């Protein structure tokens, strides 16, 4: 995933995409252009929009969604849709550089991903230095219990963590790669928390927070995916450095390696609520079939109902879709989750700025009233601490949710969704009308118009706001409130929440 300054690109996903060229017998092994394959859906269909543009993933359409038939998966999806907000974290050796994770390794993506590299080295020298970051990664101030405490205080209901990004570095004690945090060449390997995933997952579980494991299907470190003994030489792009159809034995090595790592995470690291698979170009339609469904079906025999988010691929193993750095313009009828950065980057960035609690709550309400979840991303520092700016923002988010979370957690969409500055959610026979104030200086009127046309038997408010009276009029209700704290502070609240009890 790319930095937030690439956000505009997520809105350009409908731009032109190269058509997939047929791989001819005897074609040079380096001629495959995987970006021309990403938009394929089913065999024989015309290319759609690209799955990834400058590191930002598009999201699958409602039409491509395949509703699961497994009752346990359906129940887990209901659980997922109840949670509403989760903490996402991108963390790895790349945090030491303060640049975008992984993408600068791809020569194909150098034009946008290397703009944060300000020293005089060639691309080849940089890639060598990047891959050697494991030798200096030593986050001795990492305290998983403190991370979990902060997440709990922030009101987070699940935890989405990067077990492995595209660069191939593993944040768990994998038996299938030496490029890992517990390897002897990583100075952190002797630390009591060296198996980072194990300690994080356990700490968050103890606080009732669900675990979702991020896993990149691409691996730019393993030689069964990126090799240099092809005609492409050291030039690297997102996909494998060879054509899988022309070298099926090599590709099968990669499939076995990838499936083994997925099983390892699912068998050795406790209960997983879901697995979140990045690198949408690695899919059957693009000639890179890792047979993901095969391994997920095996895992579900002992992790019943575990969700699978095979991003941008569609079909039965994309149980929910994942808009990145954006919010859909209208409610979606399928399960979904927007992953959005708290700062300006998914990975740690030096001297970053962070969204305020007001901004995040505004995002959260916009997402929830459209039926989605928010995965808010924080990039930890290279020393293992959470940046102070992120901590302050997360605590502010938690303070608001502690007071108004009733209108967020466990709710579902409610028409008219958003109208006249009011967002609506529903829980049973209760409707919540949420008025968000984008700025502290926004006016707060004591008389409020709620455009809800259903019959109600009472209107109250959360958070200490007192409703003096309400009157039903054509198209909704006029509500009069007692002057609130804003009269004294001169600052608008982040939001006001009104509770409409249906008749």
**Res 9: pLDDT:** 36
Average pLDDT, the chain: 90
Residue whose C-alpha is closest to residue 369's, from 325, 311, 327: 327
Average pLDDT over every residue of 32-42:
37
- Phi/psi region, residue 420 (left: phi>0; alpha: psi -120 to 50; beta: rest), is left
- Cα 114 to chain centroid distance, Å, stands at 23
Hey, which residues does 338 pair with through a beta bridge?
Answer: 374
Q: What is the pLDDT of residue 115?
A: 85
Residue 270 buriedness (CB in 10 A; 0-12 / 13-18 / 19+): middle
From the number of C-beta atoms within 10 Å of its C-beta (0-12, 13-18, 19+), residue 246 rates as middle
Of 104, 106, 93, 91, nearest to 163 by C-alpha is 91
CA distance 4 to 344: 5
90 pLDDT higher than 70:
yes
The residue among 4 and 286 whose pLDDT is bigger is 286
- Helix then strand then coil, in percent of the chain rounded to 5, is 30, 20, 50
Query: Higher confidence at residue 187 or residue 49?
Result: 187
Give the lowest-confidence range in 1-10, 184-193, 242-251, 362-371. 1-10
* Selection from 255, 225, 253 nearest residue 239 by Cα: 225
**Alpha-carbon span 300 to 457, nearest angstrom:** 45
> 57 with 322: CB under 8 angstroms?
yes
Q: How many Cβ atoms are within 10 Å of 27's Cβ, its own excluded?
A: 14
**What integer pLDDT is reported at residue 485 of this predicted model?**
61
Mean pLDDT, residues 325-344 taken together: 97
Alpha carbon distance 91, 100 (integer Å):
11
| DSSP class of 61 | -
Q: What is the pLDDT of residues 429-458, one digit of tens each?
A: 999 999 999 999 999 999 999 999 999 999
Residue 1 pLDDT exceeds 60: no
Nearest-Å Rg of the Cα atoms of the chain is: 24
What whole-number distance in Å separates Cα of residue 176 and Cα of residue 80? Answer: 31
| Cα–Cα distance for residue pair 458/71, rounded to 1 Å | 37
Rounded alpha-carbon distances, angstroms, from residue 210 to 144, 206, 270: 15, 10, 11
Residue 41 binned pLDDT confidence (cut-offs 50, 70, 90): very low
What percent of the chain has a predicted confidence (pLDDT) above 90? 84
Residue 414 has pLDDT above 70, yes or no: yes
Question: Which 3 state secondary structure label does DSSP give 458?
Answer: strand
pLDDT (0 to 100) of residue 46: 29
- pLDDT of 282 > 50? The answer is yes
Q: Give mean pLDDT, residues 375-403.
A: 98
Could you give the dihedral angle defined by the CA atoms of residues 135, 140, 141 and 144, in that order, rounded to the nearest 10 degrees? 90
Question: Can you read off the two tokens belonging to residue 356?
Answer: 């305020």
Say how many C-beta atoms besides its own lie within 10 A of residue 409's C-beta. Answer: 16
Span 347-359, average pLDDT? 97
Angle (nearest 5°) at CA 432 between 471 and 455: 40
pLDDT, tens digit, 9 for 90 and up, residues 109-166: 999 999 878 778 899 999 999 999 999 999 999 999 999 999 999 999 999 999 999 9
Residues 263, 116: Cα–Cα separation, whole Å: 35
31, two tokens: 């001629």
- Dist CA 254 CA 27 (whole Å): 22
| pLDDT at 45 > cutoff 70 | no
Q: What is the pLDDT of residues 155-208, one digit of tens each?
A: 999 999 999 999 999 999 999 999 999 999 999 999 999 999 999 999 999 999
* Phi, psi torsion values for 499, nearest 5 degrees: -110, 120
List, in sequence order, every beta strand (DSSP E) within 369-463.
Answer: 373-378, 412-419, 422-427, 430-436, 447-450, 456-461
pLDDT beyond 70 at 246: yes
- End-to-end CA separation in angstroms for the chain: 47
The Cα diameter of the chain in Å comes to 80
Contact in structure between 398 and 342 (CB atoms under 8 Å): no
In whole angstroms, what is the distance from residue 443 CA to residue 493 CA?
10
**Whole-number pLDDT of residue 487:** 63
Taken in order 312, 374, 100, 93, is the CA torsion positive or negative? negative
pLDDT value, residue 27: 28
The per-residue pLDDT for range 217-227, each reduced to its tens digit, is 999 999 999 99
Asked if 251 and 284 count as a contact pair (C-beta separation under 8 A), the reply is: no
pLDDT of 341 above 80? yes
What is residue 154's predicted lDDT score, i.e. its pLDDT?
98
Mean pLDDT of 386-412: 98
Q: Is the dihedral of CA 415, 417, 423, 427 positive or negative?
A: positive
> Tokens 């499939």 map to which residue?
255
- State pTM to two decimals: 0.90
């Amino acid at each position: 995933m790319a930095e937030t300054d690439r956000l505009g690109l997520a809105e350009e996903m409908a731009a032109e995409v190269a058509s997939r060229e047929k791989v001819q017998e005897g074609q040079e092994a380096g001629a495959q252009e995987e970006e021309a394959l990403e938009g394929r859906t089913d065999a024989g269909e015309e290319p759609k929009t690209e799955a990834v543009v400058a590191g930002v993933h598009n999201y699958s359409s409602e039409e491509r969604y395949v509703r699961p038939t497994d009752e346990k998966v359906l129940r887990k999806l209901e659980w997922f849709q109840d949670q509403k907000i989760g903490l996402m974290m991108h963390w790895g050796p790349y945090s030491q550089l303060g640049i975008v994770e992984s993408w600068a390794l791809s020569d194909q993506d150098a034009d946008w991903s290397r703009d944060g590299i300000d020293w005089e080295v060639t691309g080849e020298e940089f890639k060598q230095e990047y891959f050697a970051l494991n030798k200096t990664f030593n986050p001795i101030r990492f305290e998983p219990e403190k991370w979990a405490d902060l997440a709990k205080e922030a009101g987070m209901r699940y935890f989405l963590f990067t077990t492995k990004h595209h660069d191939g570095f593993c944040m768990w004690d994998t038996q299938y790669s030496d490029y890992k945090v517990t390897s002897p060449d990583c100075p952190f390997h002797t630390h009591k928390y060296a198996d980072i995933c194990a300690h994080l997952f356990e700490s968050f579980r103890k606080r009732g927070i669900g675990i979702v494991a991020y896993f990149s299907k691409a691996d730019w470190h393993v030689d069964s995916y990126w090799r240099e003994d092809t005609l492409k030489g050291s030039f690297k792009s997102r996909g494998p450095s060879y054509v899988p159809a022309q070298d099926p034995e090599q590709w099968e090595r990669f499939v076995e390696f990838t499936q083994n790592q997925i099983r390892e995470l699912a068998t050795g690291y406790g209960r997983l609520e879901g697995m979140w698979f990045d690198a949408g170009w690695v899919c059957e339609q693009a000639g890179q079939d890792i047979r993901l469904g095969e391994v997920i079906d095996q895992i579900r025999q002992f992790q019943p109902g575990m969700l699978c988010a095979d991003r941008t691929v569609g079909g039965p193993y994309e149980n929910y879709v994942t808009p990145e750095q954006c919010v859909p313009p209208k409610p979606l009828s399928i399960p979904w989750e927007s992953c959005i950065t708290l700062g300006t980057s998914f990975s740690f960035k030096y001297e970053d700025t962070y969204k305020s609690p007001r901004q995040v709550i505004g995002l959260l309400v916009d997402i929830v009233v459209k039926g989605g979840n928010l995965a808010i991303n924080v990039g930890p520092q290279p020393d293992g601490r959470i940046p102070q700016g992120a901590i302050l923002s997360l605590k502010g988010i938690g303070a608001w949710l502690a007071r108004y979370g009733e209108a967020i957690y466990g709710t579902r969409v409610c028409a008219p969704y958003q109208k006249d500055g009011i967002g609506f959610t529903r829980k049973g026979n209760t409707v919540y009308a949420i008025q968000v104030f984008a700025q502290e200086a926004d006016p707060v009127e004591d008389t409020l118009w709620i455009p809800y046309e259903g019959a109600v038997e009472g209107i109250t408010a959360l958070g200490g706001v007192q409703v003096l009276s309400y009157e039903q009029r054509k198209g909704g209700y006029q509500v009069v409130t007692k002057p609130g704290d804003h009269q004294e502070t001169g600052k608008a609240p982040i939001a006001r929440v009104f509770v409409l009890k249906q008749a």
